[in-house]
Structure 1
């Protein structure tokens, strides 16, 4: 109860502070550049200046937040990557030379590549298929709601749920994990699934696919509904089958949306951290870049230089995809 009350008070204080800021800043702007009670060129000039400044007053808190929590950390990470573990002594590129010669870093790169190959492709494909199928059945909205529900669960919460799916008990014991319960029911031997090298990565990927399929489905369903009915009717009249209509008529028309969904999931995969931390903590060859960065930065005494160097690599991988995604979205909206 105290935590709940503190949260409510904090939210109320935040809302009141925002309201006070906007009211006070607009009042001050109107006093500095008054337009009421004046006429002629001066009133027009003040009105023009206040109209140009007012939008920036609304954006200023967001810009400050971006500067403090996004821009500053980028420059600080680059600076730390060129210094030693304490962040004080300059060591140049030695952290990067160490990184590319480290076996655990190479394992993390390999695992991230696996995630990049599997998760965006499977999530986008399943989302597209489900979007197309659910639009054809009367209970499609109910199905979409159920499939989208995992999006409301945090990654850590999803990992806890799937821990019960993969749970392992010694052979002969009652299996509470759904997967091992099914295996033993059909006469097989239970397995510690998340400890199986290489394959355990795919068991972890299933969690993110389970979450992101709902996101892909919602976006692609909206895109499919935007396809002109005349195009589909013409294809039916020409004798096209359902699969031909789907792959040759519908998919090409929403190619841009598919690319946006794909790249959004790709960016998320490059930063995947919570699922690996909660499920395996990087053990059994499941380490990924973000988890490795966390280990070097905050564990084992903390090595700010090496942790920051890994963070810079993640940033270098993510930024080009984000730029491409923004340009593609701008092109789709006609530059508006």
Structure 2
């Protein structure tokens, strides 16, 4: 543990010191030039390290992954579209894609609904109550995904009927005269997948609440008061005035949570390891690369994941541009 902390401290110090030295040297080199060329070159000199890092850590891996997706398991020979056809024709991968679609649809939607509800109600409390309630709702975001699963196992856990139920759901279920249910091992109607989604919604609702609360507070009070004077009810004001004015924030939160959902791995890995029909695409990538040792299939899964994300990113960028143009 001590060595790990020491390594982390060394990495932070060396990283910061290295950046300071790099920009200091670049600045001194540009100062050697005449004034006019210096003014032209200096901005590009300072953004060059950032572009170099993006190229090295993002652009190059992207194209390398794209190339590997057309190669065999050990990336020694090209096999064309075989990885894609094999994946898309596999019933297991089709189930994985369907599960991922459900996560994309449900988790961001309910995160926003609960975040918006909590933000609206908390803003009506006194300052102290608002701070306390928002802090409590935001706390789950600070818990690791593994810790969140450990907490919810205390809710979903099932033991034989002859023993006292340690899981909250089964304790209630058995008290009603029923047999205990292994909730995370029950794929009927995707029950176990929905219960895993609850864990992520629980952690993301606080994030949505913070951003949406700030957006709601930014709605001009004059507009709200004018609507009340005209006789509009609170529900009408909320859906006709508040929601349209925080639309950009709603879209940002939705897409941010959605991207987080597509990258979700640890919740499903720790809870079920993708078993019982709960697999999702990020975990499927891990299984292909590290369990099956199939680098080609893993790269193809990553490309499919990127193709799913890109349309949402394009939509978000267009929304930002539309918002800027409207100002």
The answer for the alignment partner of 2:161 in structure 1 is 171
Q: Does 1:257 align with 2:245?
A: no
User: How big is the shift at 1:98?
Assistant: 0.9
Aligned to 1:88, the other structure's residue is in SS state coil
Residues 1-336 of structure 1 mapped to structure 2, 5 A cutoff: 1-31=2-32, 33=33, 46-138=34-126, 139-197=129-187, 198-300=190-292, 302-334=293-325
Change in CA separation of 1:185 and 1:22 when aligned onto 2, cut-off 3 Å: farther
The answer to which of 65-74 and 86-95 deviates more is: 65-74
User: How big is the shift at 1:187?
Assistant: 4.7
Deviations 1:244-283 (A, max 9, x none): 1111221122222212211222222222222111211100
Between the aligned partners of 1:334 and 1:161, the Cα distance in structure 2 is 46
Deviations 1:116-145 (A, max 9, x none): 221111111111111111111011122111
Between the aligned partners of 1:2 and 1:69, the Cα distance in structure 2 is 27
The answer for the alignment partner of 1:37 in structure 2 is none
Aligned to 2:274, the other structure's residue is in SS state coil
Between the aligned partners of 1:202 and 1:56, the Cα distance in structure 2 is 49
Q: Tell me the C-alpha RMSD between the 2 structures.
A: 1.9
Between the aligned partners of 2:46 and 2:184, the Cα distance in structure 1 is 48
Change in CA separation of 1:194 and 1:48 when aligned onto 2, cut-off 3 Å: farther
Between the aligned partners of 1:5 and 1:297, the Cα distance in structure 2 is 31
Between the aligned partners of 1:8 and 1:183, the Cα distance in structure 2 is 49
- Contact (CA 8 Å) 2:112, 2:208: kept in 1 or not? yes
Change in CA separation of 1:182 and 1:243 when aligned onto 2, cut-off 3 Å: same
Unpaired runs of at least 5, structure 2: none
- Contact (CA 8 Å) 2:26, 2:46: kept in 1 or not? no
Alignment length (residue pairs): 322
Deviations 1:23-82 (A, max 9, x none): 122112212x1xxxxxxxxxxxx3333233333343333323322221112111111111
Between the aligned partners of 1:287 and 1:102, the Cα distance in structure 2 is 13
Aligned to 1:333, the other structure's residue is in SS state helix
Between the aligned partners of 2:7 and 2:157, the Cα distance in structure 1 is 36
User: How big is the shift at 1:335?
Assistant: 8.6
Unpaired runs of at least 5, structure 1: 34-45
